[in-house]
Amino acid sequence: MVIHALFPDSILKPVGGLGEQVGQIYYRLKDKVDFRIFGFPQSEELDGYTPVPNFMTQMYNGSFLSLTNQINYFYHSVKSKDKPDLIHAMDWSTYVAGHFAAKYWEVPLVVSMNLSTIGLRENGIFYCNDPQSIDGFNLQFTHELSEELGLDSADSIIHVSNAYANKFKEHEKKSTIIPNGIDLEFWEGKAQPYDFPGKNKRKLVYIGRFALMKGIMQLCEASIPEDVDLYFVGDSRGGEEMCWQAIQKKCIDSNVYYLGFLRDQEKKSVMQSADAIIIPSIHEPFGIVGLEAMAAGTMIISSFVDGISEYLTDDIGIRTEVNAKSISKVLDQFSDMNQQEINKRVSKGLDKVQNYSWDKIVDKYLNLYKSLI
């Protein structure tokens, strides 16, 4: 079974949850599925992985580059020597490429709805610099048309949460819900304690993409209690420039720090050593970082939006609205919370996360592929 998987991220150094998802599917199914993965260029070679370089690197406009790169993904698929049995477009930004590649090869098309430009727009987030301008409006409109093309032409649609599937009820008959998971084995045992800068008693960590949908601007506007240190972990790519600028400005405060992009054991160390992970998202199809926090044995502060609410409950996490006032109030609550209450929430989170092992989830992908070929 040969599958061409198109996705705008990297397996070895993923920008966000999509890269984590595709990496787990690839590693766990590679003995059963002959994957041809087309993704971001990587520093090391990976069997079956084809880097898709961006041919317009001089232009810093993520929205426009996503559109132009559809051509690139299509080109790399059709020039492949191995005819696929199926095309899997794993993000809306590869739907057009997937649509035409499936037509070229005359094979079924699967699309994964990991993030929706329509869903973003409904939450006041636009995938363009200025939606009020003619160019910005046309960019947003084109992205939404691309998304609709992929959903309409797909033989099967994978949603990561019920919340997302409910947004697209017109495609209900060909939709399947396959949640994200985590590698529970990786989170077993304790990593080396992380040596955080700062001397305050409570350590609060944001880890993920620096994007508007993640509530970065609202977090940066919030007041951080004097006895709490806040740490940002992530790569400046994969989000909006204004979010990265807001983080840099926030780091002027004496108790706010940027730790850089951390992977593997360093990431595990930071998440296990933190007192809480904050996920103040405006829009979140699933939110793998919430599962990672629970597996790390760390409490969660979250907005509980969209897919997060399907695994995060009020007896596990602390709920916040996505505005500076609410975040500030909840952080004061976190600062005053006793360790017994934190431990109780952590224990319930550890129990819950056992249901989200990738070992249990990847077979759903394999069964879906087999049903279409």
- The DSSP result for 73-102, as a single string, is HHHHHHT-SSPPSEEEE-SGGGHHHHHHHH
User: CATH assignment of 184-355?
Assistant: 3.40.50.2000
Domain ranges of the chain: 2-181+357-372, 184-355
62-105: pLDDT as tens digits: 677 788 889 999 999 999 988 999 999 999 999 999 999 999 99
Kindly report the number of other CB atoms within 10 A of residue 173's CB atom: 7
The residue to which tokens 């199914």 are assigned: 29
**Cα torsion angle, 212, 217, 222, 225, sign:** positive
| Structural contact between residues 136 and 129, judged by C-beta atoms closer than 8 angstroms | yes
What is 2-181+357-372's CATH number?
3.40.50.2000
pLDDT tens over the chain, length 373 residues = 999 999 999 999 888 889 999 999 999 999 999 999 999 988 888 999 999 987 665 555 667 778 888 999 999 999 998 899 999 999 999 999 999 999 999 999 999 999 999 999 999 998 877 888 988 888 899 999 999 999 999 999 999 999 999 999 999 999 999 999 999 999 999 999 999 999 999 999 999 999 999 999 999 999 999 999 999 999 887 788 899 999 999 999 999 999 999 999 999 999 999 999 999 999 999 999 999 999 999 999 999 999 999 999 999 999 999 999 999 999 999 999 999 999 999 999 999 999 999 998 999 999 999 999 9
pLDDT digits (tens, 9 = 90+) for 119-134: 999 999 988 778 889 8
H or E element in which residue 319 lies: strand 317-319
Alpha-carbon gap, residue 362 to 364, rounded angstroms: 5
CB 292 within 8 A of CB 298: no
pLDDT at 58: 56
Burial class, 212, CB count within 10 angstroms (exposed 0-12 / middle 13-18 / buried 19+) = buried
**Intrachain domains 2-181+357-372 and 184-355 with the same fold:** yes
In contact, 179 and 361? CB cutoff 8 Å: yes
Instruction: Determine the pLDDT at residue 56.
Output: 61
Contact residues for 42 (Cβ-Cβ < 8 A; gap 6+) = 10, 11, 12, 13, 49, 51
What pLDDT, on the 0 to 100 scale, is given for residue 57? 57
169, two tokens: 């009820």
pLDDT at 59: 55
Beta strands 202-207 and 175-177 are unpaired
Let me know if 12 is exposed, middle or buried by CB neighbors in 10 A (0-12, 13-18, 19+).
middle
Nearest to 254 by CA among 224, 282, 278: 224
Q: Where are the alpha helices (DSSP H) in 106-225?
A: 117-122, 134-153, 162-165, 184-187, 216-221
